[in-house]
């Protein structure tokens, strides 16, 4: 029976949400962070040229001595489960040594990224994959026999994205919040060419769009437009929550580089009680009833996107009804991290 869990991941980032969920489920949780505890990409962290080179070669630096920290902890304390969140510098030799120290230790890998894509991998990850008792992915296609299993994964299970009940909840926003963080139409996320094309299309047709996220600086420089408000920085935690709640239409673009069929914002926007306009996929349509709990558009159809934006900007009451229904769906079908983690552990028991 699993009681004590050691979580390895970016505790300053999304990992803290699942740590809190494990604790809510009644588990004793300890953590090891593979980033600084105030880690905020785009604000206080940028990878160096050496970092980029090492990552591209597949041998990222162990800047926080993760391998040593784990060996030290496991040698002194008992854990039933090591939950690893996309720590690409964790070495297979370390996993082997951990199992020698505690033979019954369960090893689970979790990532919200497409781990079959080479840019998300490392040599350490590929060599370690067969050592995990379970590999958890939020990318359904990673379970296909021609994907992660070909890299040596013994058991791969898919779970939908989830949301944090504290960080992703409706919040009252002040007029000051609306001015600093809100928008008629907003998008929070990293630059990608398809996303840039769509927001520029909206701007050229008179729609004001506010953008938060990394990687937009060059686009803003080469495509200035009075209707585009590119912040050139990401947004996190409380301000992220407020920005969603202060925005009339929250765009939910999917990451083509990761072959997304759903994303974190898929759950987080409706969980905040906000209106979501997202790319149409089978997974989105399974999670939310189209035009009732969320509104969708085809990825390559900017004209449809524009038409939906124009329609719902003019119909605040309809937006509110849909936003409320999306919020209710999040809780009715339990899209929380607690439910996702409970589901993973049930699947683990079934394998046993």
Integer Cα distance of 120 and 70 in angstroms: 22
Residue whose entry in the numeric block shows the structure tokens 């040593």: 68
Contact by Cβ (8 Å): 297, 279: yes
- Coil, strand or helix: which one is 118? helix
341 in the same domain as 328? no
200 in the same domain as 151? no
Q: What is the CATH number of the domain that holds 274?
A: 3.40.50.2000
Query: How would you class 284 by CB atoms within 10 Å of its CB: exposed for 0-12, middle for 13-18, buried for 19 or more?
Result: buried
Question: How high is the pLDDT of residue 177?
Answer: 96
Integer Cα distance of 281 and 285 in angstroms: 6
Where the chain has pLDDT below 70, the residues are 40, 42, 44, 352
Strand partners, 67: none
Question: How high is the pLDDT of residue 281?
Answer: 98
Integer Cα distance of 338 and 312 in angstroms: 33
* DSSP designation for 187: E
231 in the same domain as 143? no
| Domain carrying residue 318 | 175-332
Question: How high is the pLDDT of residue 48?
Answer: 87
Residue whose entry in the numeric block shows the structure tokens 């607690």: 338
107 in the same domain as 91? yes
Integer Cα distance of 272 and 282 in angstroms: 22
Which bin fits 65, alpha (ψ -120 to 50), beta or left (φ > 0)?
Answer: left
Question: How high is the pLDDT of residue 278?
Answer: 98
Question: How high is the pLDDT of residue 47?
Answer: 81
The sign of the dihedral angle between the CA atoms of 350, 28, 138, 289 is: positive
106 in the same domain as 87? yes
Question: How high is the pLDDT of residue 43?
Answer: 73
Structure tokens that stand for 18 in this block: 């699942």
Does residue 10 fall inside a structural domain? yes
Does residue 168 fall inside a structural domain? no
Contact by Cβ (8 Å): 211, 219: no
134 in the same domain as 188? no
345 in the same domain as 311? no
Going by their DSSP bridges, the two strands 183-188 and 156-158 should be labelled as unpaired
Residue 13 phi, psi dihedral angles, 5° rounding: -100, -145
Question: How high is the pLDDT of residue 249?
Answer: 98
184 in the same domain as 154? no
76 in the same domain as 91? yes
Integer Cα distance of 95 and 101 in angstroms: 10
Integer Cα distance of 295 and 17 in angstroms: 27
Does residue 201 fall inside a structural domain? yes
Does residue 170 fall inside a structural domain? no
CA contacts within 13 A on the Cβ side of 188? 25
Q: Which residues contact 4 (CB under 8 A, 6 or more apart)?
A: 27, 28, 29, 30, 77, 78, 79, 80, 81
Cα 120 to Cα 15, 111, 321: the distances in Å are 17, 10, 39
Q: Is the pTM of this model over 0.85?
A: yes
> What is the number of domains present in the chain?
2
Strand (E) positions, the chain? 4-9, 28-33, 81-85, 106-111, 134-137, 156-158, 183-188, 209-212, 228-230, 247-252, 276-279, 295-297
- Coil, strand or helix: which one is 190? coil
Q: How many CB atoms lie within 10 A of CB 260?
A: 22
The rounded Cα 248 to chain-centroid distance in angstroms is 22
Structure tokens that stand for 203 in this block: 């701007």
Does residue 191 fall inside a structural domain? yes
237 in the same domain as 296? yes
Does residue 134 fall inside a structural domain? yes
């Amino acid at each position: 029976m699993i009681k004590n869990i050691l979580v390895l991941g970016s505790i300053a980032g999304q990992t803290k949400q699942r740590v809190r969920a494990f604790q809510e489920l009644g588990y004793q949780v300890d953590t090891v962070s593979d980033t600084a505890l105030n880690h905020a990409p785009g604000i206080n962290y940028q990878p160096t040229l050496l970092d980029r080179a090492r990552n591209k070669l597949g041998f990222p630096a162990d800047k926080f001595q993760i391998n040593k920290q784990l060996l030290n902890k496991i040698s002194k304390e008992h854990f039933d489960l090591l939950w690893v969140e996309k720590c690409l510098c964790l070495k297979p030799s370390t996993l082997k040594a951990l199992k020698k120290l505690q033979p019954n230790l369960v090893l689970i890998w979790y990532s919200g990224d497409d781990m079959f894509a080479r840019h998300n991998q490392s040599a350490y990850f590929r060599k370690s994959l067969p050592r995990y008792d379970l590999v958890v992915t939020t990318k359904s296609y990673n379970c296909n026999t021609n994907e992660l299993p070909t890299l040596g994964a013994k058991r791969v299970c898919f779970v939908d994205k989830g949301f944090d009940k504290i960080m992703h909840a409706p919040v009252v926003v002040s007029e000051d919040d609306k001015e600093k963080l809100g928008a008629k139409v907003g998008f929070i996320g990293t630059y990608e060419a398809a996303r840039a094309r769509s927001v520029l299309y909206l701007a050229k047709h008179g729609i004001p769009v506010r953008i938060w996220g990394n990687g937009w600086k060059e686009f803003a420089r080469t495509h200035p437009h009075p209707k585009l408000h590119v912040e050139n920085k990401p947004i996190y935690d409380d301000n992220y929550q407020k920005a969603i709640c202060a925005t009339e239409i929250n765009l939910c673009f999917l990451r083509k580089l990761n072959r997304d069929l759903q994303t974190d914002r898929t759950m987080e926007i409706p969980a905040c009680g906000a209106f979501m306009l997202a790319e149409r996929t089978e997974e989105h349509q399974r999670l939310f009833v189209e035009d009732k709990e969320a509104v969708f558009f085809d990825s390559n159809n900017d004209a449809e996107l524009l038409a939906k934006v124009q329609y719902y900007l003019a119909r605040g009451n309809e937006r509110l009804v849909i936003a409320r229904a999306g919020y209710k769906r999040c809780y009715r079908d339990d899209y929380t991290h607690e439910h996702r983690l409970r589901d993973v552990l049930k699947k683990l028991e079934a394998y046993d």
